[in-house]
Structure 1
Amino acid sequence: MTSVVIAAHNEAAVLGRTLRTLLADAGPGEFEVVVVANGCTDGTADLARSVPGVTVLELPEAGKPGALNAGDAAVTGFPRIYLDADIGLDAAAVRALAAALDGPGVLAAAPGRRLDTTGRPLLVRAYYAINRRHPAYRNALFGRGAIALSAAGRARFGRFPDVVADDLFLDSQFTDAEKREVTSVATVVATPRRTVDLLRRLGRVRAGNATLRAGDDQVRPARRTSWLVDVVLPRPWLLPAGVCYAGLTVLAAASARRPGTRERWGRDESSRRPEGDPMTGAGS
């Protein structure tokens, strides 16, 4: 049995779609799905309970690490998939991720990623023109919204630490040879719909990554010039986008240094659209 853990904080707008996509073609008892509604003030828990085959836990306080730990304690199966509440992953994709873990020495797997920039403003599109080509995402576990671990992979660490960058933490637990990017599967990651939302998210992510790196020397170091050396210089036509990328990165770095950035919820709300909205897309 494959276990799926979904940490959900006020995700009523998108969680129903995620659960139905996951379970639509699943066989009876094939997946063990646990949704951990943490600090919710909307109908997240009730919505999850309305989907047959889903177990729901409720935590009074918001916090993804606590939700992941609670979900881990509740599930029993492997492989184990940690899925973001707004990311669509169907049964075939789950099977493909699980199959990748059967490879020799493979302990962790993640899908490819497809960035949805439809209708986004110029600066957002420019930023992701560089981001989608950034080598940091090659054979990485972060930035997809879905990570699969084998039993041996999960045994690499104890509880999830109280950090923002949970996917970067998981990535740091494994060597490149122990990870596998399953390119036959791709999650659709919706990008922010406004530049201000992008900056808010980048500031939060940068602050979270810096905190994790400061306390864990296993985490891959950031290569600040990679966007230029590895992306723009081999593709000179991307220079205008690179200038935008650099400018937004500098602004995000300044935001990350402010004490309040580390405490604020950094989720991009603009990409979380209710079902039925023609602009709906999975967020990150």
Structure 2
Amino acid sequence: MSIVIPAHNEAKVIGRLLHGLLDAAEPGEFDVVIVPNGCTDDTAAVARGFEGARVVESPEASKAVALRLGDEAAHGFPRFYVDADIELRTADVRALTSALERPGVLAAAPSRHLEMTGRPWSVRSYYRVWTRLPEVRAGLFGRGVVGVTEEGHARLAALPHLVADDLASSLAFAPAERTVVGEAAVVVHPPRTWGDLLRRRERAATGVDELEAADLDQAGGSARTGPGDLAAMVRREPALAPDVVLFLAVALIARGRRRRPGTVVWQRDESSRA
């Protein structure tokens, strides 16, 4: 299998990812391609320190270009696209690979663990709601990892580049064609500050607008959270009402700040990389 990791100024965290990925791997088991793109730090040097990882550098700071270069350098299937700021272990990749061998499954992602240590109450409150949303539970997005078969890869290759690339990847597959694998787990690091949370959500709101403007076939579900989802959540768990109010406030602020579809936006959260 091949693992493609685009990395822009990820020297602080890419060693953490590669240690977990490669620590228990057999020699030659994983074809790992790291693509440092437009880096001004030591991302490439850190990555080269890991045996079993190949580095393909790009001078252009572009995730789309990095993914393309990684695809060109990768050898095998299934193929995994992994964000540099998450944590994933050898055993998790093996479990995802097994899931992709099932008939009809074209795409897979691991279960999600959010590392909330040191996060303020506002960030914890937001994610208490976000993690309960039906599409968040079922979708492949927001995990920093997606694996595809060769057929699934062909479908992703036909998509336009979008800010919300992980959401587009999820919606490209019908529910029966994708799976979230409980035996695999990814550690995701949410923002450490209120401001970084808003920047993340602004980028997400821009990405949803781009996705809808592209008029893609959204076979996998809706890109937006409906009022009915939030109302049903409060009916089931009335204690979540204050969290839902904060969630709505974040959504309104993010939508008010979002950019026009097609505008280049990164709005990266730096606090989670501390």
* Alignment correspondent of 1:100: 99
SS at 1:271's partner residue? helix
CA contact 2:207–2:261 (8 Å) conserved in 1: no
CA contact 1:39–1:61 (8 Å) conserved in 2: yes
* Structure 1: gaps of 5 or more residues: 274-284
* Alignment correspondent of 1:142: 141
- Please state how far the C-alpha of 1:233 moved relative to its aligned partner: 2.2
CA contact 1:49–1:56 (8 Å) conserved in 2: yes
In the alignment, does 2:182 pair up with 1:180?
A: no
Q: Distance in 2 between matches of 1:179 and 1:259?
A: 30
Aligned AA for 1:54? A
Deviations 1:45-83 (A, max 9, x none): 111111111111111111111111110111111111101
Q: CA RMSD in A?
A: 1.7
SS at 1:18's partner residue? helix
CA contact 1:255–1:261 (8 Å) conserved in 2: no
- Percent sequence identity over aligned pairs: 48
SS at 1:55's partner residue? strand
Aligned AA for 2:236? P
Q: Which is further off, 128-137 or 264-273?
A: 264-273
**TM-score, normalisation: structure 2:** 0.94
Q: Distance in 2 between matches of 1:150 and 1:100?
A: 10
In the alignment, does 2:237 pair up with 1:238?
A: no
Q: Which is further off, 162-171 or 99-108?
A: 162-171
Deviations 1:21-55 (A, max 9, x none): 10000001000000001110101111111111111
CA, structure 1 residues 260+153, in 2 after alignment: closer, same or farther (shift >3 Å)?
Answer: closer
CA contact 1:65–1:160 (8 Å) conserved in 2: no
For 1:35-50, list aligned pairs within 5 A.
35-50=34-49
In the alignment, does 2:168 pair up with 1:169?
A: yes
* Alignment correspondent of 1:152: 151
Aligned AA for 2:227? T
In the alignment, does 2:272 pair up with 1:271?
A: yes
CA contact 1:68–1:160 (8 Å) conserved in 2: no
Aligned AA for 1:271? S
CA contact 1:205–1:266 (8 Å) conserved in 2: no
CA, structure 1 residues 195+227, in 2 after alignment: closer, same or farther (shift >3 Å)?
Answer: farther
- Please state how far the C-alpha of 1:109 moved relative to its aligned partner: 0.3
CA, structure 1 residues 5+172, in 2 after alignment: closer, same or farther (shift >3 Å)?
Answer: same
Deviations 1:205-252 (A, max 9, x none): 110121122113313432331442332221111001111111111111
SS at 1:59's partner residue? coil
CA contact 1:130–1:227 (8 Å) conserved in 2: no
CA contact 1:204–1:262 (8 Å) conserved in 2: no
Q: Distance in 1 between matches of 2:32 and 2:176?
A: 29
CA contact 2:114–2:187 (8 Å) conserved in 1: yes
Q: Distance in 2 between matches of 1:75 and 1:260?
A: 31
CA contact 1:18–1:88 (8 Å) conserved in 2: yes
CA contact 1:34–1:56 (8 Å) conserved in 2: yes
CA contact 2:209–2:261 (8 Å) conserved in 1: no
In the alignment, does 2:90 pair up with 1:91?
A: yes
CA contact 2:86–2:189 (8 Å) conserved in 1: no
Q: Distance in 1 between matches of 2:107 and 2:262?
A: 30
* Alignment correspondent of 1:277: none
Structure with a larger share of its residues in helix? 2
Q: Distance in 1 between matches of 2:62 and 2:269?
A: 16
- Please state how far the C-alpha of 1:104 moved relative to its aligned partner: 1.5
Q: Which is further off, 260-269 or 185-194?
A: 260-269
SS at 2:31's partner residue? strand
* Structure 2: gaps of 5 or more residues: none
